[in-house]
């Protein structure tokens, strides 16, 4: 998987940062996909500056209904339709997302020529396509807001072809059954169990994408043990009380969560527009003083997972 940041500013865009949106490119050899997390104003303009097109989107996940995470959605949906795209699209978000989409389309005399399904979610399982699952966690913000945990299912271990050859099994149809862990009967009457010839399963990658939140109990469970944590760091530690009063986190709180949750890497985003380039680096330094494996998201940054 790879994550492409389309917007990294909190509340309003700046000259160098658009408001929140992230693309998750699912680079699976047989079932690739493109998922969008949040869709702030101007998201489709940001996509024009990448190799990705709205027509390739399979799913859109909205964390909450504040405008800096949502106001780009109607335009993107309409442009996708005007381009003649017929690929189905699913939208997931808090209660109210259906009303928002349907009302904006109706009042603007717009429509979609592709199948559009809107799912209003609650905390718990959201998607499982057989390769990966998405779980929503309710966070602490003035409006209903979720974080999403994306987990690949573990991949079966490699088949020990050398051991099978030594057992007199030639490559062929039986290999597929053994790879699936099945027990097969050989022509000479022997039976072989596939699990005896499989290496340990390869753990799937785990990613946590947070919506806006002040520290809350669900955060630790959402972030626990992920390879990559994407978390807001709206304000510096000196402004922590102000951040929390508005349902946001400080740099220190984001880094402390990464440390407590045992994550592999932390990417901070959703920075207040008060921070210029120098201020942004100071914000990053505050996080790194607690959690060294922290990077600062910039618009169009690409992170491999």
Domains of the chain by range and CATH? Answer: 2-154+203-304 (3.60.15.10), 161-196 (no CATH)
Q: Is 153 labeled as ligand-binding?
A: no
What's the pTM? 0.90
Q: Is 58 a catalytic residue?
A: no
**Mean pLDDT, the chain, whole residue set:** 94
119-128 long-range CB contacts below 8 Å, 24 or more apart? 119/90, 119/91, 119/92, 119/93, 120/93, 120/94, 120/95, 120/96, 121/92, 121/93, 121/94, 121/146, 123/218, 126/61, 126/92, 127/59, 127/92
Query: Residue 32 above 80 pLDDT?
Result: no
Q: Is 68 labeled as ligand-binding?
A: yes
Q: Is 69 labeled as ligand-binding?
A: yes
Catalytic choice (38, 58, 68, 188): 68
Q: What is the pLDDT of residues 243-263, one digit of tens each?
A: 999 999 999 999 999 999 999
Q: Is 224 labeled as ligand-binding?
A: no
- Is residue 157 within 8 A of residue 202, CB to CB? The reply is yes
Q: Is 28 labeled as ligand-binding?
A: no
Query: Residue 75 above 80 pLDDT?
Result: yes
Q: Is 270 labeled as ligand-binding?
A: yes
Q: Is 119 labeled as ligand-binding?
A: no
What's the rounded mean pLDDT across residues 64-88? 94
Q: What is the pLDDT of residues 111-167, one digit of tens each?
A: 999 999 999 999 999 999 989 999 999 999 999 999 999 999 988 778 888 888 888
């Amino acid at each position: 998987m790879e994550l492409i940041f389309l917007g990294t500013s909190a509340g309003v865009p700046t000259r160098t940062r658009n408001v929140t949106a992230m693309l998750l490119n699912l680079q699976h050899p047989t079932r690739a996909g493109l998922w969008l997390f949040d869709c702030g104003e101007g998201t489709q303009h940001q996509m024009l500056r990448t190799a990705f097109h709205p027509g390739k989107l399979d799913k859109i996940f909205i964390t909450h209904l504040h405008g800096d995470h949502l106001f780009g959605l109607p335009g993107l949906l309409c442009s996708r339709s005007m381009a003649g795209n017929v690929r189905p699209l699913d939208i997931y978000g808090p209660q109210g997302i259906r009303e928002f989409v349907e009302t904006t389309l109706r009042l603007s005399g717009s429509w979609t020529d592709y199948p559009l399904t809107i799912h209003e979610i609650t905390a718990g399982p959201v998607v499982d396509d057989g390769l990966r699952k998405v779980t929503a966690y309710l966070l602490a913000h003035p409006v209903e807001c979720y974080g999403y945990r994306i987990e690949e299912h573990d991949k079966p271990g490699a088949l020990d072809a050398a051991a099978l050859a030594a057992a007199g099994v030639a490559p062929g149809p039986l290999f597929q059954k053994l790879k699936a862990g099945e027990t097969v009967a050989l022509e000479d009457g022997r039976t072989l169990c596939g699990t005896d010839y499989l290496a340990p399963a390869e753990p799937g990658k785990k990613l946590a994408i947070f919506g806006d939140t002040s520290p809350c109990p669900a955060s630790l469970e959402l972030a626990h043990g992920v390879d990559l944590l994407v978390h807001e760091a709206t304000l510096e530690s000196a402004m922590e009380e102000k951040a929390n009063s508005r349902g946001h986190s400080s740099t220190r709180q984001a880094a402390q969560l990464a440390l407590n949750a045992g994550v592999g890497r932390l990417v901070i985003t959703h920075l207040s527009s008060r921070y210029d380039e120098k201020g942004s680096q100071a914000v990053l330094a505050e996080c790194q003083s607690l959690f060294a494996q922290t990077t600062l998201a910039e618009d169009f940054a690409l992170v491999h997972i």
